Amino acid sequence: MKQNQAEVTRNLYNLLLNPATRDWERSLLRTAKIGIDNGANFDDQIGKLEADLRPLALRNNLTPDVTDFYLKITGNAATLDSFDLSKHYDDDGPHQARAIFAGGCFWCMVEPFETKPGIIAVISGYTGGHMDNPTYEQVVGGYTGHVEAVEIIFDTTIWSYAELVELYWQLTDPTDEFGQMADRGSNYRPVIFVANEEQRQIAERSKQNLATFGKYKRPIVTAIEPTSVFWPAENFHQQFYQKNPRRYKKLKSARKQFLAFQHIQTKLWRGLKRSQKKSNNDIK
């Protein structure tokens, strides 16, 4: 793919200044930029940089912004455009509202909402922490107190907040306060972030109903917390299910299998409890 030299050089410079870029990534980027600045063949330098980054890229082990850059120089058309974050920053219209949910890795929390009619936008990001402008590396490292979350902007004439909460329960394990499925750590804990008293009452009532119904063997531990600043995640993470369909399919399948197995276990447990109760009544 023929590269736009001015754009690639500008991206190299920005990545060198980006605090989220790892030192070893920065050293490779710097070598390429110095070579280009000193008159070396542009395509040769970018080709060498791509080859140096490839082993980690294939293992999905580059930082998000460097990943985006790698995908651009290798011609992955699905990720050339930046995700439009304007809806996050715009004021809500007369029939719009927002819901913020954390339920493990945000890669798996977008598609179930975004593909529904009446959902205006779903944005992956970080919230609930104590640092401004956190990066993915910082959040995953547990340095910021943030959780991975999704901000859902929805049409209130089609969806109610209560209906979104009900869908949220179907996607998460509300009995695990230390993460979700294979995602472990405080940055993956399940949280419903409420923007006002109405949302709080709806979330608490829904959580209580879930506990009363006895669908789960263990206690419902999903937290309900007030909203704080929601920081949109890097472009690489937005609409991950569209950019990386194969990887997303595997993640989604693993999550569905886990939840299905959990529900089967619960049904067996509830059946055993009913059987024991009946036996005790017969004895009486």
Q: Any idea which residues carry the catalytic annotation? A: 105
Q: Write down the residue that tokens 């972030």 correspond to.
A: 193
Q: Write down the residue that tokens 């067996």 correspond to.
A: 268
CB-based contact 104:152 (threshold 8 Å) = no
CB-based contact 175:219 (threshold 8 Å) = yes
- The SS3 of residue 196 is coil
| Cβ burial, residue 108 (10 Å; 0-12/13-18/19+) | buried
Scanning the chain, the segments in alpha helix (DSSP H) are 5-17, 23-37, 42-58, 64-73, 86-89, 111-114, 136-140, 161-171, 197-213, 240-243, 245-283
Spatial distance between the Cα atoms of 47 and 242, rounded to a whole number of angstroms: 26
Distances (CA, A) of 221 to 42, 199, 234, 278, 282: 55, 18, 29, 30, 35
- The SS3 of residue 120 is strand
Q: Write down the residue that tokens 């930029």 correspond to.
A: 33
- The SS3 of residue 21 is coil
| Residue 254: Cβ within 10 Å count | 13
Q: Write down the residue that tokens 């996607």 correspond to.
A: 171
